[in-house]
Amino acid sequence: MDARLDYFASPTAGKALKHFMSAGRALKESALPAATQELVALRVSQINGCAACIDMHTKEAAAAGETPVRLNLLVAWREATVFTGAERAALAVAEEATRLADAGHGVSDEVWAHAAEHYDEDQLTALVVLVSFMNAVNRLNVVTRQPAGSYEVGRAH
In order, the DSSP letters of 12-75 are HHHHHHHHHHHHHHHHHTSSS-HHHHHHHHHHHHHHHT-HHHHHHHHHHHHHTT--HHHHHHGG
Per-residue pLDDT of the chain (157 residues; tens, 9 = 90+): 788 888 778 889 888 888 888 998 899 999 999 999 999 999 999 999 999 999 999 999 999 999 999 999 999 999 999 999 999 999 999 999 999 888 778 899 999 999 999 999 999 999 999 999 999 999 999 999 988 888 888 777 5
Residue 22 CA to residue 133 CA, distance in Å, equals 11
Q: Which sign does the torsion angle of CA 119, 122, 128, 133 carry?
A: negative
Asked whether 107 and 97 are in contact (CB, 8 A), the reply is yes
- List, in order of start, the domains of the chain with CATH numbers: 32-143 (1.20.1290.10)
Instruction: Let me know if 40 is exposed, middle or buried by CB neighbors in 10 A (0-12, 13-18, 19+).
Output: buried
Whether the CB-CB separation of 24 and 137 falls below 8 Å is answered with yes
Global pTM exceeds 0.75: yes
Using DSSP's 3-state secondary structure scheme, residue 96 falls into helix
